[in-house]
Amino acid sequence: MRLTEDEIYRSSTQYRLWSYTADALQSLRSSTNASAAQRVKAAVKRQREARRESAYNSDAEKRVNGTDSGAVTPAITDKEVECLTVEEEQKIVNAFCGQAIALGQFLEFPINVVATGVQYLKRFYLFNSPMTYEPKVIMPSAMFLATKTEIFHMTAENFASRLPNTTAEQVLAPEYLITQALRFTFDVRHPFRGLNGGHMEMAAMANGKAAVLPSANKTPANLQQAMLKLPLEPNGSSSSMNVRAVEKRLGEATAKASKTLKTAALLTDVYFLYTPSQIWLAAYLLADEVLTLFYISSKFEDEADPSTPSGISKSKVIATVRACAAMLASHTSMAHATEDEIKALEKKEAEEVKAIQRKLHYCRDPDKMDLVKLNKAQKRDAGTDGKLEESKAKRRKLEREKNEKEADEFWGPELPKENVTGK
């Protein structure tokens, strides 16, 4: 078994379970939406019937005891419930991902905790719809789960206390649903450390100390020379810079790419469609195209369409990175526009989201409204259902241990047998 970087990635659950082609993603979301819409309509219809019945027999009582209550039961509108479309669902989920990032910054979470939380949220809403489970409830719980899996310890109370009017129980209630929706895969591979690795290697190249791939048959020296002469703009004239200038250029590009990774990468579907290596290269491409292309080609020989010994062709890699970069650029935060234009864009989006939220208010799945109650019921049911004697047995065991402990304190522990007979 040869463990190459690609093999290590292929053994990850992110590759095996959470990578989709674009149309697979689309079809999965639409079917989730369809099934959720079905359920909402059915649930609402059932609830209306229930309300009509209760209203009906409360009228009958009133008629029987002759008093006619003033309040006429509200006209139960039979209007068909209008459900969210897939696009609207995406918008609202993205909105809450944005809120998650804001929450992460507010609570000073490290970037990998925030990023993992956002990915959990996006993965959750692949298999569930915002109509069934409200993002407002799921988002904090996903963030709390992320603090656990990324080893950033925080108790539930402490987390809940720092959120406006949420209790620990509300944070923990959806956790079970999220772990189930994540199909118990908690490991998310991020591009941040990859960006650092790339930056380190490029800095070494700039100083002429890069360790070169045997297959790429280049020497550190001519890599450095080529790097110094890189044009600023794609197909611009070659510039001549000294090492300091190139390092500054590297620094800027890395900073820009890092900002992209912290915003656009989290809010678009790149994690599902591309690999972490391609994501950070795409972000770097948006920051400094010439540098990225130079870096990628430094991994290949200088022929027309070279490929690595294991057959990965350079043009295919560059095409994929460009596609990923296009997706990243499509996110509003990346729009090349003046400050206030971006502000206007964001305001418009915020209004859209508000409209969707109002609409969502009416098409929420009545069963799943209160998750805390649902959780308790589930546990109680589990408890009552055939597990009763088990919990009784456990209670008895606990009692026995308790009075054993009391006996200890009073009489002091019984002498270990061995000493007694030893003498």
Partner 1 sequence: MALSPLDSPKPVPNAAKTITAKAKALTLSNNAASSPSTHASTPSSDGPQDLSEQLNDQVRRKYVQGGRLGEGTYAIVYSGHLVSDPSTLVAIKKIKVNAEYKDGLAMDAVREVKHLQELSHPNIIKLHAVFSTRDQNLNLVLEHLPLGDLETLWRNKDVSYGPADIKAWAGMLARAVWFCHENFVLHRDIKGNNLLIAADGSVKLADFGLARSFADPYTKMSCNVITRFYRPPELLYGTRHYGGAVDVWSMGVVIAELALREFFLPSETEIEQLDRIAEVFGSPTEENWPGVSKLDNYVPAAKENLKRPQPLMYWKQRFGMLGDEGIDLIRYMCKLDPRSRATARQVLEHPYWMAAPRPTPKEKLPRNAGGARKMAEDLKRKGGEVEGEGRADKVARKLDFSALKR
Partner 2 sequence: MSRTAQRNGATSKRLAEDGDICPVCKSSRYLNPNMRFLVNPECYHKMCESCVDRIFSHGPAPCPIAGCRRTLRKARFRTQTFEDIQVEREVDIRRRVAKVFNKREDDFMTLKNYNDYLEQIETITWNLINREDVEETERKMAAYAEENRKEIARNESTAIQEALSRKAREAEELELAQMKREDARQEDEVERRRKADARKGVVNTQAKSGDDAASIAREGQKVVLKKSLARRAALEKQRDSDPFSSGTENGEASSGFTFTGLKKRVAPPPEKPYDPFGGWSVQREYFVLQNHYDWDWLSQARTNVAHTTGGYDVNDYCTRALCDAFSGFGVFIEDEMAGKNVGSTPSIATAAATVVAGGKADMHMDDVF
Helix or strand or coil: residue 307?
strand
Per CB under 8 A, does 13 bind partner 1? yes
Least gap, CB of 182 to partner 1 (angstroms)? 8
- The piece of 91-99, 100-108, 183-191, 345-353 that touches partner 2 (CB under 8 A) is 183-191
- Judged by CB under 8 A, the residue of 82, 341, 381, 399 near partner 1 is 381
Q: How far apart are CA 126 and CA 39, in angstroms?
A: 16
Instruction: State the binding string over 119-138 for partner 1 (x if CB under 8 A, else -).
Output: --------xx---x------
Nearest alpha carbon to residue 306 among 198, 221, 230, 216: 216
Q: Which is nearer to partner 2, 167 or 320 (CB)?
A: 320
Helix or strand or coil: residue 313?
strand
Length of the chain: 423
Q: Give CA separation, 273 vs 116, 261, 266, 317, 338, in Å.
A: 16, 15, 12, 14, 30
Give one DSSP letter per residue of 184-228, joined into a string.
T------SHHHHHHHHHHHHHHHTT-PPPPGGG---HHHHHHHHH
Per CB under 8 A, does 46 bind partner 1? yes
Q: Residues 6 or more apart from 288 whose CB is under 8 A from it?
A: 249, 252, 253, 256
Q: How far apart are CA 154 and CA 156, in angstroms?
A: 7
Q: How far apart are CA 268 and CA 328, in angstroms?
A: 7
- Of 277-336, which residues contact partner 2 (CB under 8 A)? 277-278, 280-281, 299, 308-310, 312, 316-317, 320
Per CB under 8 A, does 116 bind partner 2? no
**Which of partner 2, partner 1, none does 308 bind, CB closer than 5 to 8 A by kind?**
partner 2
Question: Which helix H or strand E contains 399, and what residues bound it?
Answer: helix 388-411
Per CB under 8 A, does 254 bind partner 2? no
**Tokens encoding 217:** 């048959």
Per CB under 8 A, does 213 bind partner 2? yes
- Report DSSP state, residue 284: H
Per CB under 8 A, does 50 bind partner 1? yes
Q: Which is nearer to partner 1, 172 or 327 (CB)?
A: 172
- Judged by CB under 8 A, the residue of 43, 100, 160, 195 near partner 2 is 195
Instruction: State the binding string over 36-55 for partner 2 (x if CB under 8 A, else -).
Output: --xx----------------
Per CB under 8 A, does 11 bind partner 1? yes
Per CB under 8 A, does 122 bind partner 2? no
- The piece of 15-23, 170-178, 228-236, 386-394 that touches partner 2 (CB under 8 A) is 15-23
Per CB under 8 A, does 32 bind partner 2? yes
- The piece of 56-64, 168-176, 319-327, 354-362 that touches partner 1 (CB under 8 A) is 168-176
**Tokens encoding 391:** 């919990």
C-beta atoms surrounding 59 within 10 Å: 14
Q: How far apart are CA 117 and CA 100, in angstroms?
A: 8
Q: Which residues bind partner 2 (CB under 8 A)?
A: 1-6, 8-10, 15, 17, 19-22, 24, 27-28, 30-32, 34-35, 38-39, 183, 189, 191, 193-201, 203-204, 207, 209-214, 273-278, 280-281, 299, 308-310, 312, 316-317, 320, 422
